[in-house]
Amino acid sequence: MISQTEHAQILKETLEYFEKARITLTEEEVSRLEVADFGLNQIRDFGLQLIEYVNTDRCCAKDLVLLPRQTCPEHLHPPVGDSPGKEETFRCRLGTVYLYVPGEPVANPSAVVPKHKKETFTVWNEVILQAGEQYTLAPNTLHWFQAGDEGALISEFSTTSTDENDIFTDPSINRIPVIEQ
């Protein structure tokens, strides 16, 4: 659970990334910004901030902000009903993103994962995205990502998003954020 004070500070920092990237959010969108700590209470290590612009039965568009070295934990988007799972494209808009997917593990990963959670990260094939670069993930593909030292802003374009169905490698993760009252 994240405190209201920390939540407000994270939102303030998140909005600075949008300003730096010259992405304008409406007041209504600002009010819907999500701060996800995955129930780990380590928001600066594990978490992300996002705004969902559209999510229909055919497509979804979001922007994600990762603070410096903040990590979105390893997960996949499984089949749901008739859908094979979410297909998504990450386009880096600002900063550097270290994306990890199945394949040949990199010898010296750029990402830094806290030792007490290292066993919950199993894919180590590294894709480095700089501003203007993108990568598309097939449905039901394990992946995780971390921002570089300057943080990052990522646009995500995908098929329908059902985040509540995501499967995380770390069983202690709770995808739906809880803010202390």
Dig out the tokens for 55 from the structure: 């999510």
**Residue 155 belongs to a domain:** yes
Confidence at 179, pLDDT banded by 50, 70, 90:
low
Q: Evaluate whether 40 touches 172 at the Cβ level (below 8 Å).
A: yes
Q: Into how many domains does the chain fold?
A: 1
Residue 40 lies in a domain: yes
Is residue 158 within 8 A of residue 86, CB to CB? The reply is yes
pTM for the model stands at 0.94
Is 180's pLDDT higher than 90? no
Q: What's the CATH number where 82 sits?
A: 2.60.120.10
In this predicted structure, what is the pLDDT of residue 2?
83
Q: Which residue has the higher pLDDT, 117 or 181?
A: 117
Task: Print the domain residue range for 18.
Answer: 4-159
Residue 169 within a domain: no
For the chain, what is the total number of helices (H) and then of strands (E)? 2, 9
In a domain, 36, yes or no: yes
CA distance linking residue 121 with residue 143, whole number of Å: 9
In a domain, 91, yes or no: yes
- Single-letter amino acid code for the residue at 75: H
HSE-up (13 A, CA, CB side) for residue 22: 0
Decide if 82 is inside a domain: yes
Q: Is 157 exposed, middle or buried (0-12, 13-18, 19+ CB in 10 A)?
A: middle
In a domain? residue 164: no
